[in-house]
Amino acid sequence: MVVSHSPALARAAVDLALEMVGETPPPIAIAAGAGDGIIGTDAVKVAEAIDEVASGEGVLVFMDLGSAVLSGTMATEFMTTSDEVRLTDAPFVEGLIAAIVLANAGASLDEVDREARAALGPKRSQLADEGAASTAESTVAPAESAVAASDAVTAEATLVNPDGLHSRPAAAIVQRLASLDAKVTIRDITTGKGPVGANSLIGIMSLGAKQNEVVAYSATGAAAQQAIDTLLEMTRDGFGELAS
């Protein structure tokens, strides 16, 4: 659920996030502006939007500026849903994208909130600030230790798409693997970064893996081989980004 002072800003942020998912995104509602073209937020509208989007699995509320937080807090007194409603301090744009991708893959409220809060990690890492990069690595979804087991299915592949594992390929990986019974990690062999969980858009992006770098995929679980085969196919196809 998105709270913004500006309807145009809210709609643009949601539209950008929806570019990362398929035709059946998770429920999303917007409460933006104070009515009659006035910039601001309205707690009653926020409460109505929370009730609209509530589906029994919890509601995560994103807010753009300080008074939006106040409206979000007040709205919890007006709403009628019995769902857990959580106000997140995640970054408005990056967090919203991360949350929608993971929610679309069927993650829990806790998982979605954690992913959203870590959403600035890749940007910090890419800006090559050593202190910030270490923070990013500590906040991305941790790789499952079980993937390092001796029975893990592993494979290596070279990234061929021009922009490597940026946001769109990362989102595609999360969603393609979501239905498979497998725990998967990705490591950038070329740079030594990782491993990170393949169920985390933020984790994958934090690798900063570029074209011609070699990545290692590792998976355990009943569908481990299928997960690895899927990743290898996606990598060979350049995640759909190769010129025809």
**Spatial separation of the C-alpha atoms in residues 178 and 160, rounded to whole Å:** 23
**Taking the alpha carbons of 98, 170, 126, 133 in that order, is the dihedral positive or negative?**
positive
**Spatial separation of the C-alpha atoms in residues 171 and 34, rounded to whole Å:** 33
Contact 62, 92 (CB under 8 A): yes
Over the chain, what is the mean pLDDT? 89
CB proximity list for 130: less than 8 A, separation 6 or greater: none
- What secondary structure letter does DSSP report for 27? P
More reliable by pLDDT, 127 or 147: 127
Using alpha carbons only, what angle is made at residue 75 by residues 72 and 80, rounded to the nearest 5 degrees? 140
Q: What are phi and psi of 152, to 5 degrees?
A: -65, 145
Contact 112, 60 (CB under 8 A): yes
**Taking the alpha carbons of 117, 119, 143, 221 in that order, is the dihedral positive or negative?**
positive
**Taking the alpha carbons of 239, 241, 243, 244 in that order, is the dihedral positive or negative?**
positive
Q: Which domains does the chain have, with CATH numbers?
A: 2-119 (3.40.50.510), 139-240 (3.30.1340.10)
Q: How many CA atoms lie within 13 A of 118 on its CB side?
A: 26
- Average pLDDT on 137-157 reads 64
Flag whether pLDDT at 147 surpasses 60: no
- Average pLDDT on 28-53 reads 93
Indicate the pTM of the whole model. 0.79
Flag whether pLDDT at 50 surpasses 50: yes
Flag whether pLDDT at 144 surpasses 60: no
Catalytic: which of 45, 117, 124, 166? 166
- What secondary structure letter does DSSP report for 165? S
What is the pLDDT at residue 150?
A: 66
Flag whether pLDDT at 135 surpasses 70: no
166 is catalytic: yes
Read off the amino acid at residue 221: G
SS3 188: strand
The pair of three-digit structure tokens given for residue 67, joined into one six-digit string: 């008074």
Give pLDDT tens digits for 31-41: 999 888 889 99
What is the pLDDT at residue 128?
A: 61
- How would you write 81-125 as a 3-class SS string? CCCCEEECCCCHHHHHHHHHHHHHCCCCHHHHHHHHHCCCHHHHH
DSSP secondary structure letters along 41-84: --HHHHHHHHHHH--SS-EEEEE-SHHHHHHHHHHHHH----S-
